[in-house]
Structure 1
Amino acid sequence: MSKHKMPLRKKLLIAGAVVLAVLILLAGAFFWYVSDYYRAEDVALAVLSGENGITLQGDLTILSPSAPTDTAIIFYPGAKVEAQAYLPLLDQIRRTGITCILVEMPFNMAIFDSNAAEGVMEQFPEVEHWYIAGHSMGGAMASQFASNHPDEVDGLILLGAYIYGDYSPADTLTVYGSLNQSVEDKLDYTENVVEIEGGNHAQFGNYGPQKGDAPATISAEEQQKQTVEAIEEFLSSRNAA
């Protein structure tokens, strides 16, 4: 009987060692993948030290307008993009009188915390009107949240993304660059869609060129300026309704 037990024990040990080795390799590959991300440019980081109205609270960066507001936008960054890269854009939005709350995602990927907005809302009970926004994959996850929580958000704002899930285009603003063909090809609705001529995928944030993205023919400043104008018009039209 002992002759049969030893080979079985060895087989189990070998199998366990193989499984452990595979898990270590997979974990190493994962951490290598997520550690290679787009960093925020200096112009984006400079927003943090520019003036009052911006506070850090855990994994949130809160950009408050000069006057109190009952409306706020929760923003999900694009995949593998440092959250601070979107500060110039959000700083311009908050100057229109809207509170912006930037969420730093686990491993810089919104897919790992698509329901982050729920926790954000609980922390700011004074806000009466919530909009959720996001860029690229962050937009897809924001769209998913809006689809699953239609009674908790007043609308959805997508940048370089399209509706993912069952959410009404009437309650959605979709902004994309004319050179971002992958988004244009996926759009099957036309309501509240704004195309920025000469814009690309990456310039909604300030993190430099993105692999596979077409070079923009306008500056990031111009693309973001037009984006803010579209958002301001969208929110104004909903407030007037």
Structure 2
Amino acid sequence: MAWLHAVLGLVAVVVAAWIWLTRAGVLLAGHPAYLVSVTVVGLAGLALLVLAVRGARGRAGRARAPGWLRVLGRVALALVTVLVVGALAWLRPFPASPEATGLMSGDAGVDVTDSAGRITLTPTGAAPDDGLIFQPGARVDPRAYLPLLTEVAAQGHLVVVVKQPFDIGFTALGAPEGIIEDHPDVSRWSLGGHSLGGVVASAYAQDYPAEVDGLVLWASYPLGDLSDRDDLAASTIFGSNDGLATPADIEASRPDLPPGTEVVEIPGGVHAFFGDYGEQPGDGTPGVTREAAQDQIVEASLALLAAAGS
């Protein structure tokens, strides 16, 4: 049993150390759930290594469980360790670019407030009467969206970026509720999201129609059928060269969108252009610069917010 403890412990420690060494900034800036989980797994790995050392020093006179129980226990320990460590390795997020993280200190006309569960962008002028709650894409550092969303906030809109546990949208399905409650002076809300984040945003818009006036999908599509929501202003924005949320995927989702949904294609745009986090495996080849694509995404998103207020 000592050898199994040693192997599993070493795997857990190595993976936890790898994540910390390569993603320390994202761990410290994101939702604490991933940080705590990675740290706990690393400490558990150290504990297994200690058990391995103690076990190797001799087990003479120790009562032994029946053979089948020992085998079952070893298999269960191995499976749980592999599943947990493998999941944490897969969840290692795409980090925001230095340009994006630099905006955490604020920008001309926009104040930034950071907390464990959200990043709030507040225009410094007149108090905004509308807001956008934004859900990031899966495994993407939430700070990666600041280059685009700071531009939105600078036009007089409150913007709140959700920090999702483990950077997965389905872990933060109810996040808009708390944000709306914390901003009673905001009378009109739109939801938005990138990729899986847009799917989650659409689910909240479907479940709470009285709270949501607008929905903007970035390289995404709705989870359910919103085709009867003629009271919901909506926009679906996608890149023509996106290899993950392909133009065919967007077209297939159109029957589920509200009547009058604005469909905005970014010629040459790809999935990773909806944030600043580098390239993404499986994505297409860009046919336009990131800056040009993001200018169009911001413009289309501002148009949606204007439509939600009309």
Alignment TM-score, normalising by the size of structure 1? 0.89
CA contact (8 A) 1:47 1:87 kept: yes
CA contact (8 A) 2:190 2:305 kept: no
Which residue matches 2:289?
Answer: 219
Q: How many corresponding residue pairs?
A: 234
Measured against aligned partners, the alpha-carbon deviations of 1:4-63 in whole angstroms (never above 9, x if no partner) come to xx999543343233222211111111111112x210001111112243511113321111
Q: Select between 181-190 and 192-201 the one with higher mean Cα deviation.
A: 181-190
Q: Does 1:179 align with 2:241?
A: yes
Which residue matches 1:44?
Answer: 100
Instruction: Point out where structure 2 has 5 or more consecutive residues left out of the alignment.
Output: 1-62, 256-260
Distance change in 2, residues 1:30/1:118 (3 Å) = same
Shift of 1:158: 0.3
| CA–CA distance in structure 1, aligned partners of residues 219 and 204 of structure 2 | 17
Distance change in 2, residues 1:238/1:102 (3 Å) = closer
Instruction: Name which of 253, 256, 267 aligns with 1:197.
Output: 267
| CA–CA distance in structure 1, aligned partners of residues 86 and 281 of structure 2 | 20
Q: How many percent identity over aligned positions?
A: 35
Which residue matches 2:75?
Answer: 18
| CA–CA distance in structure 2, aligned partners of residues 236 and 72 of structure 1 | 11
What secondary structure sits across from 2:209 in the alignment?
coil
What secondary structure sits across from 1:158 in the alignment?
strand
Report the residue type matching 2:151 in the other structure.
Q
Shift of 1:239: 2.2
What secondary structure sits across from 1:139 in the alignment?
helix
Instruction: Name which of 128, 140, 150 aligns with 1:91.
Output: 150
Q: Does 1:33 align with 2:90?
A: yes
Distance change in 2, residues 1:92/1:15 (3 Å) = same
Instruction: Point out where structure 1 has 5 or more consecutive residues left out of the alignment.
Output: 1-5
Which residue matches 1:117?
Answer: 176
Alignment TM-score, normalising by the size of structure 2? 0.70
Q: Does 1:129 align with 2:192?
A: no
| CA–CA distance in structure 2, aligned partners of residues 122 and 13 of structure 1 | 52
Measured against aligned partners, the alpha-carbon deviations of 1:82-120 in whole angstroms (never above 9, x if no partner) come to 010000010000111111001111111112222211222
CA contact (8 A) 1:72 1:130 kept: yes
Alignment of 1:47-86 (within 5 A): 47-51=103-107, 53-65=111-123, 66-86=125-145
Which residue matches 1:239?
Answer: 309
CA contact (8 A) 2:216 2:304 kept: no
| CA–CA distance in structure 1, aligned partners of residues 168 and 154 of structure 2 | 27
| CA–CA distance in structure 1, aligned partners of residues 276 and 161 of structure 2 | 14
What secondary structure sits across from 2:71 in the alignment?
helix
| CA–CA distance in structure 2, aligned partners of residues 204 and 193 of structure 1 | 16
The structure with the largest alpha-carbon Rg is 2
What secondary structure sits across from 1:55 in the alignment?
strand
Measured against aligned partners, the alpha-carbon deviations of 1:110-160 in whole angstroms (never above 9, x if no partner) come to 122222112222222222111111001111111122122222211211000
What secondary structure sits across from 2:189 in the alignment?
strand
CA contact (8 A) 1:162 1:183 kept: no
What secondary structure sits across from 1:223 in the alignment?
helix
Q: Select between 64-73 and 229-238 the one with higher mean Cα deviation.
A: 229-238
Q: What is the alpha-carbon root mean square deviation over aligned residues? A: 2.1
| CA–CA distance in structure 2, aligned partners of residues 7 and 208 of structure 1 | 53
CA contact (8 A) 1:78 1:139 kept: yes
Shift of 1:227: 1.2
Q: Select between 215-224 and 185-194 the one with higher mean Cα deviation.
A: 185-194
Report the residue type matching 1:174 in the other structure.
T
Query: Higher helix proportion, which one?
Result: 2
